[in-house]
Structure 1
């Protein structure tokens, strides 16, 4: 798909919660709170959504096998307290699949609060800095907007298939380079038995039968229906590998000029107005994206320099979920380097380190 086409027809990828669906959420929240269920312990059984759950499953099917982008609007965050908002989002997520830890600390519910981007220990998504086009370490990512009273901070999404097709005709040499491995930094979030960096191509053509096999010349083949295309990309982590490691001591090669030019071409194509879908998340919006068939980004944002009164909520606050859906597509075997397991199930995807205990922070 092209961003321009989706922007012209939001009905293809947007749903506004009905009054009946909101009533179901309210009822599920009352039951969970009365039962003393912690947010992280919610399940489809303890958070029943008789009408909304089938819609979420249909949306999940379209995410994995269709457009790869969906927006739900109208979650009543203005009248929910923090527990209710987190529980509503997480509870909906349980009907999508299994939640994955998003960092070494084991957070299964992330918070974008505009932290200091100059702090090296801070992940970019939690700061106010621009986040270039990338994918996450999970099949599906969900973002729930609580507040977005800032200048900037807009969301951008691009189709991996559209980019692939354009590069095949406009930049075939760059596409071939992007199908070859790049060194990537783990930024200290190192799974057991792994090193601090790993090698990964951006684009993968692979069989859809679960074998995980990839052709020797993926950019030259005429792929049939038995083949899938998956993207996996984060230029910040590629740049970090160049900055923190070297050839002599760490065995991390320097990027060639061809590699740098290919990454530049990819980033520029993502920003093309015909390719990129722009959206601004408003309070109550929930954006869902399929990481293997879309790349997403966020513009930098700033806060009114006049400041805010004590007790006011943060000017921008988004909740984040990483989900492994039970209908997840097969992945190439090489994805195991980043996803841990490519077998569909609760252990696939996420950031997993030794001694980690997943938990759900409400703040």
Structure 2
């Protein structure tokens, strides 16, 4: 895989070169419409502009860091440390970490306020200041899961029964000895704007941020819509009214609309990778037609308007970033890394039973199909995760035997990470 040193700048990048539009290609397509051309009106039943705290620009957040950034206090770090030590005395699997067995008397209520901001405020939250380098790999995972339990009480299945995903490049491994790279979480390339496949909230912890690049980018989907409603309502209308077809759990055969307006908010859950494949699994499902040029222009318009209004930040080691996966999309610059200390993020998908909103029906159907089986394990690292993935396919299947064989080979590593048989 190419590194960022040999990649074009982000605005020239596309995960399907010549097919999905980079920024200059989008701008050329946009400018090609005659001045007299009518783009029509906004989608039927939609407002001309959406308002509320989840509608913001990157400049808005930079002017008001308190709207998304919370710095841990020393006594709060000590409280986390105490909770880690107390939890380890319980000798139960990491998958069973919860608010009840990871008590944070002072920090816990603060995290519940942050959860409310993620659901009902800006939809972006960063918790900064956790000294992650001072902790063992096991304790890092305990802290990550324990803190996240206070943000959302439900950890969701990320495929193959995983509660945690390791965002770490495996491109350097021998391709014959690993699974195929099929998502940008597994290489160093940039990521276009996307929703993760599931979950109300995407939570990331920066374990290591070595090398150069890799800035996190988040965009308010409602802000993107507001721009399109004014300048290119046809793009908003196609996304809101046209049924896009692709193969995915919970997706009806005739497809789904990609953006929805409900209860005064814009809901969405899609990525362009769904329609075209990615990396070493580039083939789209041939049961469905190729995207038309109009649809490709739609995705290009959404991507580059999102980038225009995005908030970009360099995550610091120990940061936990939460993004509302129902109302926003996120992206990432490409990066290079120090091979002796690779860039590494942990990811969890969350839902909070108290704060989770009613979703548009097709999104709810998709989520119900994806999360019918609760996660059952916490992979120790990206290598164990790859073993699981190779044994199960990309997102489905049972991984019990492969996981047991791997851990036996490694001398029992991760034995407390799998839910005990009842």
Q: Any stretches of 5+ residues in structure 2 without a counterpart?
A: 1-55, 376-393, 404-412, 418-422
**After superposition, what is the alpha-carbon deviation per residue over 1:192-239, rounded to whole angstroms, capped at 9, x for unaligned?**
xx78x8723221113x3xxxxxxxxxxxxxxxxxx4320212011122
Matches within 5 A, 1:1-363: 1-97=56-152, 98-103=154-159, 105-116=160-171, 120-136=180-196, 137-179=198-240, 180-186=242-248, 199-206=255-262, 208=263, 227-240=264-277, 243-246=283-286, 250=287, 252-272=288-308, 275-304=309-338, 307-308=339-340, 314-326=341-353, 327-340=355-368, 353=396, 355=398
Structure 2 counterpart of 1:224: none
Distance 1:82 1:231, change over 3 A: same
Structure 2 counterpart of 1:212: none
Which protein has the bigger helix share? 2
Counterparts of 1:129 and 1:337, CA distance in 2: 31
1:262 Cα shift? 0.8
Structure 2 counterpart of 1:214: none
Counterparts of 1:342 and 1:121, CA distance in 2: 21
Contact 2:222 2:265 in 1 (8 A): no
Tell me the C-alpha RMSD between the 2 structures.
Answer: 2.8
Counterparts of 1:28 and 1:235, CA distance in 2: 41
> Counterpart of 1:199 in 2: which secondary structure?
coil
Distance 1:88 1:40, change over 3 A: same
Counterparts of 2:137 and 2:283, CA distance in 1: 39
> Counterpart of 2:246 in 1: which secondary structure?
strand
> Counterpart of 1:184 in 2: which secondary structure?
coil
* Runs of 4+ residues deviating >3 angstroms: 117-122, 351-357, 359-362
> Counterpart of 2:132 in 1: which secondary structure?
coil
Structure whose alpha-carbon radius of gyration is higher: 2
Counterparts of 2:239 and 2:399, CA distance in 1: 33
1:10 Cα shift? 1.2
Counterparts of 1:114 and 1:342, CA distance in 2: 25
1:38 Cα shift? 2.3
Q: Any stretches of 5+ residues in structure 1 without a counterpart?
A: 209-226, 309-313
Counterparts of 2:209 and 2:310, CA distance in 1: 21
Counterparts of 1:230 and 1:12, CA distance in 2: 21
Contact 1:143 1:321 in 2 (8 A): yes
Contact 1:185 1:198 in 2 (8 A): no
> Counterpart of 1:156 in 2: which secondary structure?
strand
Contact 1:324 1:346 in 2 (8 A): no
Which protein has the bigger strand share? 1
Normalised to the residue count of structure 2, the TM-score between the two structures is 0.70
Normalised to the residue count of structure 1, the TM-score between the two structures is 0.80
> Counterpart of 1:4 in 2: which secondary structure?
helix
Distance 1:342 1:355, change over 3 A: closer
Counterparts of 1:76 and 1:184, CA distance in 2: 42
Contact 2:161 2:374 in 1 (8 A): no
Contact 2:209 2:344 in 1 (8 A): yes
Distance 1:25 1:198, change over 3 A: farther
1:355 Cα shift? 4.1
Distance 1:121 1:127, change over 3 A: closer
Contact 1:182 1:238 in 2 (8 A): no
1:121 Cα shift? 4.4
Contact 1:73 1:286 in 2 (8 A): yes
